[in-house]
Chain A
Amino acid sequence: MISERLLVIILGCGLVTFIPRITPFIIGKFTKFPKVVVRFLEYLPLSILGALMLETAFTVRIGQLPLVKWDVVLAMLPTVGVAVWSKDLMKTVVVGIVTMAIIRLFM
């Protein structure tokens, strides 16, 4: 059903995704993070969502400028529009997927 090699890989990957997720919850239980850290992390939601969103529009080629994925950029335009106008995540995702399917039909 599953090879030993793959099981080791999955368990190993599970462990290294588990540790960063829980460590701050364990440390935070016993001590408070320094005030300055807390103040800077106030901007994490905005920063990380911005970074995650923009990252999907590029292909990294170490040593060269990142390659722009034009199909993603193009599909982002109406998606941003719907997000701003509807304030509804479901509609945003549906419009995004449909737009991308249409773009891929012609590209």
Chain B
Amino acid sequence: MESADKGYVTFMDGVRSCLPTVLGYLGTGFAFGIVGINAHLNIFEVTLMSLIIYGGSSQFVLCGLLLTNASIPGMIFTVFLVNLRHLLMSMTASPYFRNESLLQNISLGSILTDESFAVFSTTAAQEKHFTAQWMQGLNWTGYVTWFVSTLLGALVGNLIPDPNKFGFDFAITAMFVGLFIFQFQWELSKSTRKAIVVVITVAISLYLLMIVVSSALAVIIAALLGCVAGGLVHD
């Protein structure tokens, strides 16, 4: 594929940049639709969740909590923690769009995902010229795919009680594996030592943190420690 600088300008360019991740959204959204129906939600409720919350792990966690006697503030706080990592991703992405209008900034941030952030970072790291329109295309393709796949999953939810049997739950892991490997190879090519130090720091701290805090918090703290390690080796 030709990847001239022109490829990151229009909304449609963003749609195209999102395509490699579409299958990950599809598999995970489909699995979520099925899980939601099996958590005794109806089709309307399941898809509304995807439209309003728009966070894979948050929604799976919430379905689990709905089946327990958790309190409403407890559920909302848990979802807050699970999605808190977006604060870090938005902090990283937002400086690139500071010349855009406030409304543009808010709309870019509101549907940022792990995946769109990963595609964005790769593009930004390669010092490609990109626009807010491109980012919109990237974000919206993910959002629409998430909605459609949730709906599809919810429609067949009564027929498939256990999506895990077909490996759909692994779609998200596989997507993270791919995104991580691509990022890792890129960082290795820039600085082998730094890349390895960051990854080892994340791996060890994540494992240790998971003994004392929830996995959502462990992810945030381990990612921060990885950043600190990378920043310190920098000098």
Contact = CB atoms under 8 A, between A and B. Distances in A.
Contacts of B219: 48, 51-52, 55
Interface in B193-235: 194-195, 198-199, 201-203, 206-207, 210-215, 218-219, 222-231, 234
Contacts of A83: 177-178, 181-182
Given A13-B75, A39-B231, A96-B177, A45 B183 contact: yes
B21 A89 contact: yes
Give the interface SS of chain A, mostly helix, strand, loop or mixed: helix
A25 B90 contact: yes
A42 to B, nearest CB: 7
Chain B: number of interface residues, binned into ranges: 35 or more
A92 B174 contact: yes
Given A42-B227, A96-B177, 17 more contacts: A14-B53, A21-B87, A21-B111, A25-B106, A29-B98, A32-B95, A37-B91, A51-B222, A55-B218, A72-B170, A72-B173, A76-B173, A79-B178, A83-B181, A90-B20, A97-B166, A100-B170
Interface of A: 1-2, 5-6, 8-14, 16-18, 20-29, 32-33, 36-58, 60, 62-66, 72, 75-76, 79-80, 83-84, 87-90, 92-104
